[in-house]
Structure 1
């Protein structure tokens, strides 16, 4: 028995997107599914590796695609151009991640009643929005994610449990925005946690991140701590 994986095309409002799915074929019964939402550059080997890691823990890891099949950025400028339209049109962002969740729930290996979502950077914003719109999902995990509110969810209760793993010195999500998110989640009656890692910047889980001027620096300590927190949270959910 071993970890299996495949690429899977799926439809989002008439456009083709492509996910990467990983699972352990030692399990004969459907398993909890966990979405992995990508950073601003699009789905990459980084997110695919996280899906494999989840499969190794007994889940079905589904690295989703928010931009469209083959659409990737290769520079900060290109990444910004891809991400910004969705940040500014949250209804479209929410529609795309809902479509990804529906795709994952339809997989034979996935128990549709037991799903969660985790996301990195831009993907952290995506999974928070999945919770913000009241999706009946067990939980979401934002990892060095963006915290700006959606603006189209006033009065919506959040049923999903929420975990944010956050670098306290992240210039893209400063302490004020972290406190704003905490207030928002409390007002939405969410079961929420924020783990803030001191002296830690953005992208702390990515070994390739090494740009202090931009505020993106890998932290092996915060990376290890966040991995434990993710595992513990998923174990609590499922």
Structure 2
């Protein structure tokens, strides 16, 4: 295990995941939410609240730890780079955080945004206990499984992507689709026209850098997610 990785993401890190328990007789799924590269924020918490209202047990992951969220763009990019630098370290941390978040033995669905979208796809592909994974404007350059036998080929995936997202190029998109197809994975990929990165985040307002909230697409994305979760339930 990389010591720099441990010091940044594991050692002496105090975390407080945002958890909402399911009501009695609620939907038998538990949802893990992976945040953007900014770390756990009110956005992920409010999204968790919306899903909990539908009867799901939800945990929004405190990825970096209390008081450890990066503040400016260079720091966010550096921390994301360190997080994604090595597959073994990344997946070990994801597995540990997922185990901390579990509220029972119901099937697990991972959902994420931006960096978290990639993390949701990573968890879906690499963790056999995952039933489904959904990515909103997530990065497509995820780590492949070391072999087809080690991949979670039973996972169902839903990817929601802005067609004009500058962080998701056609090469990465086609490579991901071909990879999932080769494994026989059930996936859905939605391209939203006239839409760039961060379309789900109300705070996103930087069109010059390809990041902008799109309320109509955000509404559609949540509706699609609702149907996807109902299918998995």
Q: Verify same fold: TM over 0.5.
A: yes
How far the C-alpha of 1:153 sits from its partner, in A, is: 2.9
1:71-117 Cα deviation digits (max 9, x unpaired) = 10121111112111112122222112212222232x2xx4x232211
CA distance in 2, matches of 1:75, 1:218: 19
Indicate how the Cα distance of structure 1 residues 88 and 65 shifts in structure 2: closer, same or farther if over 3 A, else same.
same
State which of 159, 162, 184 in structure 1 corresponds to 2:154. Answer: 159
Contact 1:41 1:82 in 2 (8 A): no
CA distance in 1, matches of 2:227, 2:168: 24
1:149-182 Cα deviation digits (max 9, x unpaired) = 3155343333211110111110001222111110
CA distance in 2, matches of 1:134, 1:22: 23
State which of 218, 222, 226 in structure 2 corresponds to 1:227. Answer: 222
Q: Count how many residue pairs are aligned between Structure 1 and Structure 2.
A: 223
Are 1:94 and 2:100 an aligned pair?
no
Structure 1 residue runs of 5 or longer lacking an equivalent are 1-10
As a proportion of its length, which structure holds more strand? 1
Provide the residue aligned with 2:48 in structure 1. Answer: 51
- Give the secondary structure class of the aligned counterpart of 2:188: strand
- Give the secondary structure class of the aligned counterpart of 2:129: coil
Provide the residue aligned with 1:23 in structure 2. Answer: 21
Provide the residue aligned with 2:69 in structure 1. Answer: 72
Provide the residue aligned with 2:101 in structure 1. Answer: 104
State which of 62, 81, 101 in structure 1 corresponds to 2:59. Answer: 62
Structure 2 residue runs of 5 or longer lacking an equivalent are 1-8
- Give the secondary structure class of the aligned counterpart of 1:140: strand
Indicate how the Cα distance of structure 1 residues 81 and 236 shifts in structure 2: closer, same or farther if over 3 A, else same.
same
1:41-91 Cα deviation digits (max 9, x unpaired) = 111111111111110010011001222333101211111121111121222
Provide the residue aligned with 2:6 in structure 1. Answer: none
State which of 105, 115, 118 in structure 2 corresponds to 1:122. Answer: 115
How far the C-alpha of 1:237 sits from its partner, in A, is: 0.3
- Give the secondary structure class of the aligned counterpart of 1:171: coil
Computed over aligned residues only, the root mean square deviation of the Cα atoms, in angstroms, reads: 2.0
- Give the secondary structure class of the aligned counterpart of 1:73: coil
As a proportion of its length, which structure holds more helix? 2
CA distance in 2, matches of 1:30, 1:13: 35
- Where do 1:121-160 residues align within 5 Å? 121-151=114-144, 153-155=146-148, 156-157=150-151, 158-160=153-155
Contact 1:34 1:118 in 2 (8 A): yes
* TM-score of the two chains, using structure 2 as the length reference: 0.88
Contact 2:31 2:56 in 1 (8 A): yes
- Where do 1:185-200 residues align within 5 Å? 185-200=180-195
Worse overlay, 30-39 or 223-232: 30-39
- Give the secondary structure class of the aligned counterpart of 1:181: helix
How far the C-alpha of 1:207 sits from its partner, in A, is: 1.1
